[in-house]
Structure 1
Amino acid sequence: MGVFSYILLNNIIPLTVMIALGVILYRAFKLDIRTLSKLNFYLFSPAVVFKMLYESTLSLAVLGQTMLFFVVYFAAMFILMEIVIRLRGYKGGMVPAVRNSVIFYNSANYAIPLNQLVFVGDAFTMSIQIIIMMMQSLIPNTYGIYSVNRTKSNELGKTLRTIFSMPVIYVIPIAFLMRGLEVPIPGPIYTPINYISNAFIATALLTLGVQLGSMKWKLMLSDVMLSNVLRLCVGPAVGFGIVLLLGIHGTMAQALVLSCAVPTSLSSVLLAVEYDNEPEFSSQVVFSSTIFSIFTVTLVIYLMQFIR
């Protein structure tokens, strides 16, 4: 009951309040969703990724094993989604929208505090989650952009130009390089980075609220629920199978399984809004998966005690 209450009070209710404020602000002022989306892609998201990677302490051994897990897990979920997409007969923009709603998950503002709750501030498990967060920040800004643009245009050059305009793909290697070489960041530069990164969660959630407030509610219940089940139930089950396959044990196995149990990432909404690719579906999935995660994540945490 303690874990259930903590997730409700510290994850679900604060997220819901911020989303509700976004809805209210849109109703009152008709905020421009595309401006908010660009702020997230080009300013807030790169700042928070840089700050977390620059301040982290990652060993090569943990980095290698976590990366191996992530690659295998991502490939498994991608293949699973291709099968589901074909069985359901999705067409056009729904193909990347459904796929992205399952393979992109909230590894930052949901998974990081959750990791700290479950493992009581363990630096080792935190480093694992930061690696997952890094990959989950990089892929939406590369493959994610490619997938939503591929359905609208055959111009590969244009799509690649869009991808290479994303700051995150440059921020990650720069942060690693500066941390590895112990390059200090001057205070007048680091202070704005802190300010901007601290605003990321609020701005991303307000953006989701504005999107929910602006859309014409077309209930897509079966598709939304299917995505929720795949993300919240099948996702951690696949993660558990992969840690067994790779022979990962103990705390590391638990941290990796927990990282797979979180709801759909805000990145899927930001991509959908920025490139006008099924924003209604994506918004409904993010909102509903966040709510349902209170039950599914609590169950996963309970079952983690059987991972040895």
Structure 2
Amino acid sequence: MDIFLHILWNNVLPLSLIIGLGILLHRIFTLDIKTLSKLNFYLFSPAIMFQLLYGTAISASLFGQVLLFFLVFMLAQYALLELVIRLRKYDGGKKAAMRNSVLFYNSANYGIPINQLAFAGNTYTLSVQVIIMMMQSLIPNTYGIYAVNAHKADWRHIRKVILSMPVIYVIPIALAMRGFHVPLPGFLDISVGYLANAFIGMALFTLGVQLGSMKGGISRRLAVDVSIATSLRLLAGPMLAWGVVLLFDLNAMLSAALIVSSAVPTSLSSVLLAVEFDNEQDFASQSVLVSTALSIVTVTAVIYLLRVS
């Protein structure tokens, strides 16, 4: 019960409050969601990625283990997704939206606080989460962009959009600067910190604005699809992760951190991609909202079953 209340009070309620403010202010002022989306993609997201990668010590051995897990885990999720997509006979836009809602999970503003809660601020497990967050930032800005545009644009245009994403340059720069011990000038450190601190609030606010722009309720067909996406994310995700850590026989602490990292709800990136490229915006928004609300139960259950708290 303590874990349940902690997650509710310190994670779900703060997220819900900011989302609610986005809904309210959009209803009052009719905000420009395209501008908010661009601020997230081109400013705040690269800043938090640089700050975490530059400021976190990660060994080469741990880096390799986590990347191997992540690769196999993502392939397993993708295979399960393809089976569902074929059974449901989704078209191009819905296929991309469904993939994004399951493959992209909230490893930053939800995953990091949950990691800190479950493992009492352990620096080792935090390093694991930062690596996962790095990959979960890189993939939406590459594969995610390709997926939502593949059915309506040619490769040249898609490639141009992907190469314009700052995150794909920020990651190697941050890793190289940390690896070669390159100091960050004080004024840049302060500026990056301000922008990084704004990421969570702006991403959640953008989700609220998108939800506030929706007309009417959820159709029965959309409700079914959202339920499928949420189940694949919150239930199948940690089960697949458990299978992968057993496959590689990883140590107990690393295994627990990876399973917890896989149990979090759908990423805000799926909404930002849907808004930025006009692809199934209502479905993406509802998937994030429903999975975040239900995660209070499922994430608590995962933490409890792992006995890590």
TM-score of the two chains, using structure 2 as the length reference = 0.98
Quick check: 1:56–1:127 contact (8 Å CA) kept in 2?
yes
Report what 1:144 is aligned to: 144
Q: How many angstroms apart in 2 are the aligned matches of 1:158 and 1:23?
A: 33
How far the C-alpha of 1:16 sits from its partner, in A, is 0.4
Moved >2 Å (runs of 4+): none
How far the C-alpha of 1:189 sits from its partner, in A, is 1.3
Q: How many angstroms apart in 2 are the aligned matches of 1:92 and 1:168?
A: 26
Report what 1:197 is aligned to: 196
The amino acid of 1:232's aligned partner reads L
Cα deviation digits, residues 181-212 of structure 1 (max 9, x gap): 11111111111111000000000000000000
Report what 2:175 is aligned to: 176
Quick check: 1:264–1:286 contact (8 Å CA) kept in 2?
yes
TM-score of the two chains, using structure 1 as the length reference = 0.98
Cα deviation digits, residues 24-80 of structure 1 (max 9, x gap): 110111000000000000000000000000000000010000000000000110111
SS in 1 for 2:307: helix
Report what 1:262 is aligned to: 264
Q: How many angstroms apart in 2 are the aligned matches of 1:236 and 1:170?
A: 30
Residues 161-240 of structure 1 correspond to what in structure 2 (within 5 A)? 161-219=160-218, 220-240=222-242
The amino acid of 1:209's aligned partner reads G
How far the C-alpha of 1:303 sits from its partner, in A, is 1.1
Cα deviation digits, residues 103-126 of structure 1 (max 9, x gap): 000000001011011100100000
Report what 2:244 is aligned to: 242
Q: How many angstroms apart in 2 are the aligned matches of 1:135 and 1:277?
A: 23
How far the C-alpha of 1:217 sits from its partner, in A, is 3.4
Q: How many angstroms apart in 1 are the aligned matches of 2:307 and 2:6?
A: 18
Report what 1:97 is aligned to: 97
SS in 2 for 1:57: coil
Cα deviation digits, residues 165-193 of structure 1 (max 9, x gap): 00000000000000011111111111111
Q: Unmatched 5+ residue regions in structure 2?
A: none
Report what 1:69 is aligned to: 69
RMSD of aligned Cα (Å): 0.8
Between stretches 213-222 and 117-126, larger displacement belongs to 213-222
Quick check: 1:218–1:280 contact (8 Å CA) kept in 2?
no
Q: How many angstroms apart in 2 are the aligned matches of 1:206 and 1:253?
A: 33
Q: Unmatched 5+ residue regions in structure 1?
A: none
How far the C-alpha of 1:248 sits from its partner, in A, is 1.1
Quick check: 1:217–1:280 contact (8 Å CA) kept in 2?
no
Q: Is the counterpart of residue 54 in structure 1 residue 64 in structure 2? A: no
Could you say if the C-alpha distance between residues 98 and 217 of structure 1 is closer, same or farther in structure 2, counting changes exceeding 3 Å? farther
How far the C-alpha of 1:85 sits from its partner, in A, is 0.3
How far the C-alpha of 1:218 sits from its partner, in A, is 4.5
Report what 1:15 is aligned to: 15
Q: How many angstroms apart in 2 are the aligned matches of 1:239 and 1:217?
A: 37
The amino acid of 1:303's aligned partner reads L
How far the C-alpha of 1:216 sits from its partner, in A, is 1.7
Q: How many angstroms apart in 2 are the aligned matches of 1:136 and 1:273?
A: 18
Q: Is the counterpart of residue 284 in structure 1 residue 283 in structure 2? A: no
Report what 1:301 is aligned to: 303
Q: How many angstroms apart in 2 are the aligned matches of 1:101 and 1:76?
A: 15
